[in-house]
Amino acid sequence: MEKKLTRSQQKHLDIINAAKEEFIEHGFLAANMDRITASAEVSKRTLYRHFESKEILFESVLTIINDSVNESVSYQFDPDKTTEEQLKALAYKEIDVLYKSYGISLARTIVIEFLRQPEMAKNLISNIYSIRAITQWFSAAVEAGRLKSEDPKLMTEVYVSLFQGLFFWPQIMNLDAELKGEALHQKVDTLTAVFIQSYGMK
């Protein structure tokens, strides 16, 4: 039986949900705290009691999304499936996290806002991906003799760099639309093939 939220906890959640939609629709700079309070059906005094500033509210929205992703995403190595099959499944899940849990609009807002704070931007952008889950899968694949015996953390950095180049930065910079259908499948195939060519066992 689920524990019922207190009135304060529910208001906190309502503010978070309203803020997420506001940041997606208007970006950080144009986001309006009055609209957030109206959407969440709380007073401005209540909003600021929960979140001291718009910056703290924005970071809280991203932290909650990230925590939810980390709790729900894990990749179990399956010795009965091919390396290629599992890497493709991993890529599709990461795309789902990026395009649905965050959304390109919110990811673009993160980049635009925190260009003024590069270190924070670096942390937030890296947190969009399930770094821990990816690294754990690479470690298991190395132990199983499917991938070369190299540092799984370095493999993760290489993988995420390739992933960003195909599925993140072109969309963030409005060079490409969000990938779908055959175009999406082709790029997943390319990502998988390049990674296996670099780290796969012959």
Convert the pLDDT of each residue in 172-182 to its tens digit: 887 777 788 99
Structure tokens at 67: 């925590």
pLDDT tens sequence across 75-89: 999 999 999 999 999
pLDDT at 44: 93
Q: Which CA distances in Å does 167 have to 61, 65, 73, 112, 194? A: 22, 19, 19, 17, 15
**Which of 22-31, 41-50, 164-173 shows the lowest mean pLDDT across its residues?**
22-31
- Banded model confidence at residue 106, pLDDT cuts 50, 70, 90: confident
- Banded model confidence at residue 195, pLDDT cuts 50, 70, 90: very high
pLDDT at 178: 78
What number is the average pLDDT over the span 42-54?
A: 93
pTM of the model: 0.80
What number is the average pLDDT over the span 120-149?
A: 85
